[in-house]
């Protein structure tokens, strides 16, 4: 009875692939449950001198193996010549070969035809990895260094010896870094505007470089990746709008990053992101939450603001679904159906009482909702390593797709058909990984910090922001209770 074999390999630098355990995990989904596992930790794919691999080939020749599974072809071999020799051994022993992420199986005629094409790409890729590594080292030796100028808030310049030269790096000032972390956590808890954050800091007597804080200073600080622990998520975040100097594998979540803009302001200039020498002080998830909120905030600012009630904008007439007018009388705020007063006869909804009643009702409902969500959302974090691996795999898959697209451009008509098939398979794989990542990621319905909110105690702006974040609309009318439609 022949069995399945799973082969996993990872080289010492760990920069060329996902972890051995994740490789095995992926193969297990495709292989028989009793598959034998062969692991080579710390061996490169440049040659075949690897203990587990030698054992595997012995077992293949002894007729014990039915199919060989690996996460990617280059786990078996990075050399075209080696692989074509190995393939002859597999073939002679009627062993099929399955690469689980490249969606091909030598059991199929197409799989066989694909072998040489993929092997060529594997070779190509190894060459690019070598090239990139050299560039990296160059970049790293330069980019970790502070380019000069006034250090960002929270840091001072420290001189170090670098290849015999005096160079500057950023060194954190602990009590100021604490302020930075407080600003990030206060902002992402969705309860404060930039303006009120600045006000709070000034009230506490905290100085911004011998000056007072203002909304712009807070905004700039929140946007600066010089504070973030740069991991794969940060890499992806900047992927489309900056040139990233370092390799994705260097984004291991420990170092911070510099974002520099050359030749023109903000969006017009050429942006580069490079890893810094110093360690990050804010987690990537908090940082990205802040970026998303900052861009949302920008949109909100342009919207119409009513100073009468934080419910405005959310209220709709229960009867006609139309907008609600807000007006003031003797210091109290009242509502009326817009149509009822402006298009006589089209709606007859009467809305009783002043805004206080509605506000306190919505306040209670929001507090209940927060409590429930927080209770049901006890943060069950996915193993970080596994998620990071999946993301790296996704980026590698994207790179393979790009490779194939390039090959399609230059390849002749004959190559066309098979490459197109492979492309389809890669795209299907892309979708699968994306779905898996989505399923693995904890759903953050609740922004960080919402757990401790006492909604009734928030200020006007914060109540409005939280309400808009959670509520789609609130229906009000005379013959029905207030009805909240949640997002
Ligand atoms: Zn109405």
Report pLDDT digits (tens) over 117-128. Answer: 555 555 555 454
Write down the pLDDT at residue 154.
96
CA of 484 to the centre of ligand 1 (A): 16
CA of 336 to the centre of ligand 1 (A): 8
Lowest mean pLDDT, pick from 178-187, 191-200, 411-420 = 411-420
CA of 329 to the centre of ligand 1 (A): 21
CA distances from 416 to 112, 156, 425 (A): 16, 57, 14
Higher pLDDT, 213 or 409: 213
Higher pLDDT, 222 or 321: 222
Residue 281's Cβ-side half-sphere holds a number of Cα atoms within 13 Å equal to 25
**Which of 100-109, 317-326, 375-384, 476-485 has maximum average pLDDT?**
317-326
Write down the pLDDT at residue 155.
95
CA of 353 to the centre of ligand 1 (A): 16
Looking at the DSSP assignment, which residues form a beta bridge with residue 321? none
> What is the distance between the alpha carbons of residues 425 and 409, in angstroms, rounded to a whole number?
18
Q: For helices 80-92 and 51-61, what crossing angle results, to 10°?
A: 30
What residues have CB less than 8 Å from 208, skipping those under 6 apart?
A: 153, 201, 217
Higher pLDDT, 217 or 450: 217
CA of 360 to the centre of ligand 1 (A): 22
Lowest mean pLDDT, pick from 92-106, 148-162, 165-179 = 92-106
Whether 138 has a pLDDT exceeding 50, the answer reads: no
Would you put residue 257 in left (φ > 0), alpha (ψ -120 to 50) or beta?
beta
| Cβ–Cβ under 8 Å, residues 371 and 389 | no
pLDDT, average across residues 163-170? 77
Burial of 184 (0-12, 13-18, 19+ CB in 10 A): buried
| Cβ–Cβ under 8 Å, residues 401 and 430 | yes
CA of 149 to the centre of ligand 1 (A): 60
CA of 1 to the centre of ligand 1 (A): 76
CA of 337 to the centre of ligand 1 (A): 5
Q: Percent of the chain at pLDDT above 90?
A: 20
The average confidence (pLDDT) of the chain is 77
Write down the pLDDT at residue 341.
74
Asked whether the whole model's pTM tops 0.85, one would answer no
Whether 218 has a pLDDT exceeding 90, the answer reads: yes
Q: SS3 for 256?
A: strand
Q: Supply the Cα-derived Rg of the chain in whole angstroms.
A: 29
260-293 residue pLDDT tens: 876 555 455 678 888 888 899 999 989 988 988 8
pLDDT, average across residues 464-469? 77
CA distances from 314 to 18, 142, 276, 349, 485 (A): 47, 52, 44, 17, 10
CA of 447 to the centre of ligand 1 (A): 34
CA of 346 to the centre of ligand 1 (A): 8
The values of phi and psi at residue 217, to 5°, are -65, -40
CA of 469 to the centre of ligand 1 (A): 25
The values of phi and psi at residue 298, to 5°, are -60, -45
Write down the pLDDT at residue 211.
86
Find the largest Cα–Cα distance for the chain: 95
CA of 313 to the centre of ligand 1 (A): 15
The tokens for 333 are 């705020």
Whether 374 has a pLDDT exceeding 90, the answer reads: no
CA of 482 to the centre of ligand 1 (A): 14
CA of 332 to the centre of ligand 1 (A): 21
| Cβ–Cβ under 8 Å, residues 21 and 49 | no
Local confidence band at 182 (pLDDT 50, 70, 90 cut-offs): very high
CA of 338 to the centre of ligand 1 (A): 7
> What is the distance between the alpha carbons of residues 291 and 225, in angstroms, rounded to a whole number?
10
Q: SS3 for 480?
A: strand
| Cβ–Cβ under 8 Å, residues 205 and 239 | no
48-63 residue pLDDT tens: 788 999 999 999 999 9
What residues have CB less than 8 Å from 426, skipping those under 6 apart?
A: 102, 103, 397, 400, 401, 404
> What is the distance between the alpha carbons of residues 3 and 36, in angstroms, rounded to a whole number?
7
CA of 4 to the centre of ligand 1 (A): 69
CA distances from 381 to 18, 159, 427, 445, 451 (A): 20, 39, 28, 14, 16
CA of 310 to the centre of ligand 1 (A): 20
The tokens for 343 are 């298009």
DSSP 116: H
Query: What residues pack around ion ligand 1 (CB closer than 5 A)?
Result: 317, 319-320, 337, 339, 347, 349
| Cβ–Cβ under 8 Å, residues 255 and 277 | yes
> What is the distance between the alpha carbons of residues 369 and 445, in angstroms, rounded to a whole number?
11
Higher pLDDT, 257 or 159: 257
| Cβ–Cβ under 8 Å, residues 320 and 349 | yes
CA of 340 to the centre of ligand 1 (A): 6
Write down the pLDDT at residue 18.
76
Write down the pLDDT at residue 253.
84
| Cβ–Cβ under 8 Å, residues 446 and 377 | yes
Whether 28 has a pLDDT exceeding 50, the answer reads: yes
Lowest mean pLDDT, pick from 3-12, 147-156, 205-214, 366-375 = 366-375
Q: What is the dihedral of CA 278, 283, 289, 290, to 10 degrees?
A: -40
Local confidence band at 257 (pLDDT 50, 70, 90 cut-offs): very high
Whether 376 has a pLDDT exceeding 60, the answer reads: no
What residues have CB less than 8 Å from 105, skipping those under 6 apart?
A: 96, 97, 98, 111
Block residue for tokens 């502070």: 146
CA of 468 to the centre of ligand 1 (A): 22
Query: Hey, which bits of 239-304 come out as E strands?
Result: 243-244, 255-262, 270-279
CA of 101 to the centre of ligand 1 (A): 57
Block residue for tokens 């999946």: 390
Q: What is the dihedral of CA 190, 193, 224, 172, to 10 degrees?
A: -90
């Amino acid at each position: 009875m022949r069995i399945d074999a799973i082969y996993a390999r990872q080289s010492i630098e760990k920069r060329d692939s996902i972890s051995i355990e994740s490789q095995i995990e992926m193969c297990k989904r495709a292989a028989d449950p009793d598959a034998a596992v062969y692991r080579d930790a710390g061996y490169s794919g440049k040659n075949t001198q690897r203990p587990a691999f030698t054992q595997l080939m012995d077992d293949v020749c002894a007729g014990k193996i039915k199919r060989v599974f690996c996460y990617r072809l280059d786990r078996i071999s990075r050399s075209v010549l080696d692989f074509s020799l190995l393939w002859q051994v597999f073939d002679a022993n009627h062993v099929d070969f399955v690469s689980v992420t490249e969606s091909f199986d030598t059991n199929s005629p197409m799989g066989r035809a694909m072998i040489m094409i993929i092997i060529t790409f594997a070779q190509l890729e190894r060459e690019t990895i070598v090239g990139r590594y050299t560039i990296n080292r160059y970049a790293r030796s330069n980019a970790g260094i502070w380019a000069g100028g006034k250090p960002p808030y929270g840091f001072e310049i420290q001189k170090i010896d670098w290849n015999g030269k005096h160079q500057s790096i950023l060194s954190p000032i602990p009590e100021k870094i604490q302020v930075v972390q407080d600003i990030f956590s206060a902002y992402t808890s969705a309860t404060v505007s930039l303006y009120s954050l600045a006000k709070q800091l000034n009230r506490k007597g905290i100085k911004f470089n011998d000056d007072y804080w203002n909304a712009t200073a807070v905004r700039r600080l929140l946007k600066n990746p010089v504070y973030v622990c740069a991991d794969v998520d940060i890499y992806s975040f900047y992927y489309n709008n900056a040139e990233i100097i370092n390799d994705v594998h260097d984004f291991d979540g420990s170092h911070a990053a510099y974002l520099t803009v050359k030749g023109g302001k903000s969006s017009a200039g050429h942006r580069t992101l490079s890893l810094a020498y110093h360690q990050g002080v804010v987690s990537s998830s908090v940082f990205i939450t802040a970026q998303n909120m900052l861009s949302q905030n920008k949109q909100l600012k342009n919207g119409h603001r009513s100073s009468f009630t934080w419910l405005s904008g959310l209220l709709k007439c229960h009867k006609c679904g139309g907008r609600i007018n807000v007006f003031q009388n003797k210091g109290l705020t009242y509502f009326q159906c817009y149509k009822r007063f402006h298009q006589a006869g089209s709606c007859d909804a009467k809305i009783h009482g002043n805004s206080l009643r509605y506000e306190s009702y919505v306040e209670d409902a929001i507090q209940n909702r927060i409590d429930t969500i927080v209770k049901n959302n006890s943060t069950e974090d996915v193993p970080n390593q596994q998620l990071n691996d999946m993301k790296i795999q996704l980026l590698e898959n994207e790179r393979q797709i790009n490779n194939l697209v390039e090959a399609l451009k230059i390849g002749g008509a004959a190559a066309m058909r098979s490459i197109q098939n492979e492309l389809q398979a890669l795209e299907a794989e892309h979708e699968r990984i994306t779905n898996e990542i989505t399923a693995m990621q904890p759903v953050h319905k609740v922004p960080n910090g919402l757990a401790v909110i006492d909604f009734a105690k928030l200020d006007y702006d914060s109540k409005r922001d939280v309400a808009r974040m959670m509520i789609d609309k609130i229906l009000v009318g005379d013959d029905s209770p207030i009805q909240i439609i949640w997002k």
